A and B are shown apart, each in its own frame.
Chain A
Amino acid sequence: MKFTCNTKDISAAVGAASKVVNAHTTVPILSNVLLQADDGKIAVRATDLELTFEHAFPADIGEGGSVTIPAKLFSSYLGNLPTGTLELTGTPTRASVKCERSNYDFHALPADEYPPLPAATRGSHFTIAAKKFRDGIDGTIFAASNEEARGAVLMGTLLEIEGDALTMVATDGYRLAKFVTTLDDGITGSEKYIVPSRALAEVSRNLGGGETIAVSALGAQSNQLQITAGNVSITVRLVDGQYPNYQQVIPAKFDRTMTVNTSALIGSLRRAELVAGDRASMVKLAISNQTLVVTANSDISGTAYEELEIEQTGEDLTIAFNARYLVEILNHVKSDKTVVEFLGPLSPAAIRPLEPLESGQQLYVLMPLRQ
């Protein structure tokens, strides 16, 4: 293969793809990126077998074909090039790069050994505004589990599609994030996908800037999802398993609410948490007389007391939470005021923005601490 391209284009594509490469892989070719020349463009691909990332950029193709190059090395090299043009010649064992007056030969591995993309048997297909998908991803995936021990299902984020409605859900078993939005082009019937959350993080980072994102189920059993926007596509193996019945744990009704200034509450919780230390970061919230009192204490650090003005409805309540969980949720509430709904000191609490996002409805559920 042989092509000429802009150094900025190839550097951006290889840089993004190389983030997917697993530094600890034991399969040598998975440390490489694959470059494929095709019809006026070069497609750069990286995979860890679960997640495949492809980023294409325009190039002058002299001769078709493909080459694989060690990802980290190549991306560092490209990152240090000045703006200009670059010429690359690839063989099964070598990639030669010429840029201005520098010449590099990188050891390559045969491209035909690179894992192929899943067969393009298409299943359901939908499109969504990039902003909506990005808000949904950013508002949910943080709540997924990051402990391998709790299983792949909880490490994933649920995408539930019914007609042109999309519901995204992530939970680690203690807190739950839900985002409901609409699709541009929906599907007929309904589908459920459990998507590894890290794949969605890549989608948000690499595909969120465009207009529209297209999502298709791939493979004979629809066990892969391909998410595409512009010249970038991410293909991910779906998590096989049963997602917990999340609807069952979201109370249908609450009997007490408080409406509170979001950033003031975050500030109070962050300060109080410092004192709570390792007692499960426990902060107590006492709601009474249109006032919220946040307290925390530990034998080592001392005591914390914070008072905030709130709008209260329903009876008084004292409830304890892990401050870290609550702060993390509040950080995703993009509204000056937050509404928190309660049922009792040992029941789930619901948290949502007072002014909903335009892109969709956010809802968070958090379990309290038992003191």
Chain B
Amino acid sequence: MTEFVAHFDVDAFYASVAVRDDPSLRGKPVAIAGRSRRAVVLTASYEARPFGVRSAMPLYKARMACPELVVVAPDMAKYKAVSREIFAVFAARGQAVEGLSMDEAFVDAGHRDFGAACALAADVRRDVLDATGLTVSAGIASGKMIAKIASDACKPNGLLAIPPGDEARFLAPLPVGRLWGIGPKTQRRLTSFGIQTIGDLVALDESQLREFFGAWGAQIRELACGRDARRVEPERETESISTEETFEYDVRDERELVAVLRAQSLELAEKLERENAGARTVGIKIKRGDFSILGRQTHLIEPTRAARAIFRAAVACLRRAQLDGAPVRLLGTRVASLVEGEPLQIGLFSQR
């Protein structure tokens, strides 16, 4: 008997919803993307992927790579509705669910034997298909990281379960970058020392590990050996809420940027209202015309969910960024240090 974690991830979520609702798209390369000049691919169907079409790829590049690509506009309201149905299935057996995005979650598969855990994952996959017509890939393992790597490895429409004791063997041939906490930079550095796979990393001795990772070395080895004690955390708290806009053409006029901040502040205030939360931190993100990214943030004296207070803070951040008319490609506003369930002083002039 072992504690198992299941990871579920809907296959090409947005694209699958589009194909489900328009059968004429079945079997065709489909990309979900907006209409603007700078639209990027949000999701590509499995038929589009052999052409090299990937999420986050600029749409014009995707069209060059795959001239027959069918582009469908996103329908967020629909995805949200489908997402609710999917999560209802995840939660139907009373297990703890930790949502990672609209179509992806960890589900606590409980303390049971391996076969029963596999059966649970298979049941969830079947129920999601019955309820929504969408296929889900699932990974089952004794820890979260391996469960997620497993579900990625068996996509689309697969189920991969790693028996207890097989974790290290499963991980060993995978590139080191698959380990949680090893980003592209660290991966490049490790590769330059000949450490390509997770197995290579496990083979390092203590002092080498310390050299690469400092105090964190022991933990990274535990992970690389497949020992991952983190449990499913239901209702993981929202840490921040953000919104951003990529402009059709670069913006230099501060008044225009301020107008965008005003709209974004209103949007964030509404989201905070829905979450019954207040924010202590307000920040902005700026992507300049040369793609360099700049952030500024400020802390408020007391948590707020008032659009006016968020806007004022965001504008102060914008002034601090001292753009001096430099072209801006993207502008975003973010609220963080959220306070939930705490009493919140209602403002006289911000009553609803």
Chain A interface (Cβ < 8 Å from any Cβ of B): 147, 149, 171, 173-176, 244, 249, 279-280, 282, 320, 322, 346-348, 365, 367-371
Query: Are the C-beta atoms of A282 and B351 separated by less than 8 Å?
Result: no
Interchain Cβ contacts under 8 Å between A and B, 17 examples: A149-B301, A174-B346, A175-B348, A176-B348, A249-B348, A280-B302, A280-B342, A280-B344, A282-B343, A320-B343, A346-B346, A348-B351, A367-B345, A367-B351, A369-B346, A370-B345, A370-B346
Instruction: Give B352's nearest chain A residue, CB to CB.
Output: A346
B349 within 8 A of A: yes
Query: Are the C-beta atoms of B347 and A174 separated by less than 8 Å?
Result: yes
Task: Give the Cβ gap from B97 to chain A, nearest Cβ, in Å.
Answer: 27
Residues of chain A contacted by B348 (CB below 8 angstroms): 171, 173-176, 249, 348, 365, 367
Query: Are the C-beta atoms of B349 and A322 separated by less than 8 Å?
Result: no
Query: Are the C-beta atoms of A322 and B345 separated by less than 8 Å?
Result: yes
Query: Are the C-beta atoms of B346 and A368 separated by less than 8 Å?
Result: yes
Residues of chain A contacted by B349 (CB below 8 angstroms): 173, 244, 249
Q: Cα distance A260–B2 when bound, in Å? A: 63
Q: Cα distance A18–B302 when bound, in Å? A: 34
- For B, the interface residue count at a CB cutoff of 8 angstroms equals 12
**B343, B344, B347, B351 pick with most chain A CB within 10 angstroms:** B343
Residues of chain B contacted by A370 (CB below 8 angstroms): 343-346
Query: Are the C-beta atoms of A147 and B301 separated by less than 8 Å?
Result: yes
Query: Are the C-beta atoms of B351 and A369 separated by less than 8 Å?
Result: no
Q: Cα distance A174–B306 when bound, in Å? A: 12
Identify 12 new A-B residue pairs, CB closer than 8 A, beyond the known A173-B348, A280-B343, A370-B345.
A171-B348, A173-B349, A173-B350, A174-B346, A249-B349, A280-B302, A280-B342, A320-B343, A367-B346, A367-B347, A369-B345, A370-B344
Task: Give the Cβ gap from B348 to chain A, nearest Cβ, in Å.
Answer: 5
Q: Cα distance A347–B352 when bound, in Å? A: 10
Query: Are the C-beta atoms of A369 and B301 separated by less than 8 Å?
Result: no
Instruction: Give A176's nearest chain B residue, CB to CB.
Output: B348
Instruction: Give A346's nearest chain B residue, CB to CB.
Output: B346
Q: Cα distance A370–B272 when bound, in Å? A: 13
Task: Give the Cβ gap from B281 to chain A, nearest Cβ, in Å.
Answer: 14
Interface string of B324-352 (1 = CB under 8 A from A): 00000000000000000011111111110
Task: Give the Cβ gap from B161 to chain A, nearest Cβ, in Å.
Answer: 42
Residues of chain A contacted by B351 (CB below 8 angstroms): 249, 347-348, 367
Residues of chain A contacted by B344 (CB below 8 angstroms): 280, 369-370
Instruction: Give B302's nearest chain A residue, CB to CB.
Output: A280
**A175, A367, A368 pick with most chain B CB within 10 angstroms:** A367
Residues of chain B contacted by A174 (CB below 8 angstroms): 345-348
Residues of chain B contacted by A367 (CB below 8 angstroms): 345-348, 351
Instruction: Give B348's nearest chain A residue, CB to CB.
Output: A249
The 4 closest A-B pairs by CB, nearest first: A369-B343, A282-B343, A367-B346, A280-B343
Residues of chain A contacted by B343 (CB below 8 angstroms): 279-280, 282, 320, 369-371
Q: Cα distance A280–B280 when bound, in Å? A: 13
Residues of chain B contacted by A347 (CB below 8 angstroms): 351
Query: Are the C-beta atoms of A279 and B301 separated by less than 8 Å?
Result: no
Residues of chain A contacted by B302 (CB below 8 angstroms): 280
Interface string of B286-313 (1 = CB under 8 A from A): 0000000000000001100000000000
Instruction: Give A172's nearest chain B residue, CB to CB.
Output: B348
Instruction: Give B278's nearest chain A residue, CB to CB.
Output: A370
Q: Cα distance A149–B345 when bound, in Å? A: 17
Q: Cα distance A365–B348 when bound, in Å? A: 9
Residues of chain A contacted by B350 (CB below 8 angstroms): 173
**A149, A244, A320 pick with most chain B CB within 10 angstroms:** A149
Query: Are the C-beta atoms of B301 and A280 separated by less than 8 Å?
Result: no
Residues of chain B contacted by A365 (CB below 8 angstroms): 348
Q: Cα distance A176–B346 when bound, in Å? A: 13
Q: Cα distance A174–B347 when bound, in Å? A: 5
Task: Give the Cβ gap from B347 to chain A, nearest Cβ, in Å.
Answer: 5
Task: Give the Cβ gap from B1 to chain A, nearest Cβ, in Å.
Answer: 36
Residues of chain B contacted by A368 (CB below 8 angstroms): 346
Residues of chain B contacted by A371 (CB below 8 angstroms): 343
Residues of chain B contacted by A346 (CB below 8 angstroms): 346
Task: Give the Cβ gap from A348 to chain B, nearest Cβ, in Å.
Answer: 7
**A173, A322, A346 pick with most chain B CB within 10 angstroms:** A173
Task: Give the Cβ gap from B300 to chain A, nearest Cβ, in Å.
Answer: 8
Q: Cα distance A320–B344 when bound, in Å? A: 10
Task: Give the Cβ gap from A59 to chain B, nearest Cβ, in Å.
Answer: 48
Task: Give the Cβ gap from B270 to chain A, nearest Cβ, in Å.
Answer: 15
Residues of chain B contacted by A348 (CB below 8 angstroms): 348, 351
Q: Cα distance A370–B302 when bound, in Å? A: 14
Instruction: Give A250's nearest chain B residue, CB to CB.
Output: B348
Q: Cα distance A212–B334 when bound, in Å? A: 54
Task: Give the Cβ gap from B276 to chain A, nearest Cβ, in Å.
Answer: 8
**B348, B350, B351 pick with most chain A CB within 10 angstroms:** B348
Q: Cα distance A87–B350 when bound, in Å? A: 60
Instruction: Give B276's nearest chain A residue, CB to CB.
Output: A370
Residues of chain B contacted by A322 (CB below 8 angstroms): 345
Task: Give the Cβ gap from A326 to chain B, nearest Cβ, in Å.
Answer: 12
Task: Give the Cβ gap from A145 to chain B, nearest Cβ, in Å.
Answer: 10
Task: Give the Cβ gap from A81 to chain B, nearest Cβ, in Å.
Answer: 44
Interface string of B34-75 (1 = CB under 8 A from A): 000000000000000000000000000000000000000000
Residues of chain B contacted by A279 (CB below 8 angstroms): 342-343
Query: Are the C-beta atoms of A173 and B347 separated by less than 8 Å?
Result: yes
Q: Cα distance A75–B166 when bound, in Å? A: 84
Task: Give the Cβ gap from B121 to chain A, nearest Cβ, in Å.
Answer: 39
Task: Give the Cβ gap from B19 to chain A, nearest Cβ, in Å.
Answer: 44
Q: Cα distance A369–B302 when bound, in Å? A: 13
Task: Give the Cβ gap from A256 to chain B, nearest Cβ, in Å.
Answer: 18
Task: Give the Cβ gap from B341 to chain A, nearest Cβ, in Å.
Answer: 8
Q: Cα distance A280–B344 when bound, in Å? A: 7
Task: Give the Cβ gap from A97 to chain B, nearest Cβ, in Å.
Answer: 46
